[in-house]
Amino acid sequence: MRAVVITKPGGPDVLAVAELPAREPGEGEVRIAVKAAAVNPTDIGLRERGGAGEPPWVPGMDAAGVIESVGPGVDRLKVGEQVMAAVSPRRPEGGGQQEQLVVPAASVVAIPDGATLVEAATLPMNGLTATRGLDMLALKEGDTLAVSGGAGLLASYVIPLAKEQGLRVIADAKPEDEALVKSFGADVIVPRSESFGDAIRAVAPGGADAVYDTALLRREAFGAIRDGGQIVVVRGWDGDEVEDRGIRVHPVFVAQVLERTEWLEHLRDLASAGTIKLRVAGEYPPERAGDAEHAMDAGGLRGRAVIVF
């Protein structure tokens, strides 16, 4: 099978396409003939820093395709079914950007109604990240959630999931993105500015109950949070203890929830209903994986670049 591989830590030039061996699914696993695999910032981090063990490493945390075979004990999924999957690229077999992907059946569900495989490939990892962060916050109906980076893909999943929980959502956006972010379900849009805290407190003077920080503001977002509030951070935390007004920090590690089948099914249902909007920023053959990562790294994408096999 063909796979996008990282040959060594470095820039986009270390990406290549290689022929790798495929294997049969084992107990509780399925093998997917992958047609589409999304490119995420985590893939850039893997390429820059390398993975566990020796290269090559296969990037990708999302994939969509057709079930080719199922292992013993799998009865929920059938051969020929169009599915999407979440996967860790840091396992020995690597991530989703390979033509024959073997994964636990628990990480696989049918694609949303009306979605293409390319569109479906953008949902699993970011959808699970959004769900996990909100689960950690455990906010109450009527609480206020501020979302940084409102026009981004992760925010576009956080916002409707938060609204489903009955939260008041405030999100920031550039003027040209205000209508887009409003379409995700945000109650209030504030201007994107150098001070996220000031922007949020202009409409929530006491501060938000929590921030879902998709824009990687980290401590710069603390001004938006009330005393004793919370913040969800993605892509890690510096590990320092927080002694700032009792604010609790929740780093999200999506690899811990890749087998939450019920969450994936819920995300599929929301996308089927149009509550979550699937956005593809561009399609690339595996030979142009470097271009896809470059587009992602440049920022400003309103969706995900997708590798199409």
- CA R_g for the chain: 19
pLDDT on residue 300: 72
Residue 79, token pair as written in the block:
């051969």
pLDDT on residue 236: 78
pLDDT on residue 296: 86
How many CA atoms within 13 Å lie on the side-chain side of 139?
31
Residue 274, token pair as written in the block:
């149009």
pLDDT on residue 297: 83
pLDDT on residue 240: 66
pLDDT on residue 235: 81
Residue 246, token pair as written in the block:
């009792």
Q: Which domains does the chain have, with CATH numbers?
A: 2-123+278-308 (3.90.180.10), 127-254 (3.40.50.720)
Per-block mean pLDDT, blocks of 10 residues, the chain (309 long): 97 96 97 97 94 94 98 98 97 96 98 98 98 98 98 96 98 96 98 96 98 95 96 82 81 95 98 96 97 87 92
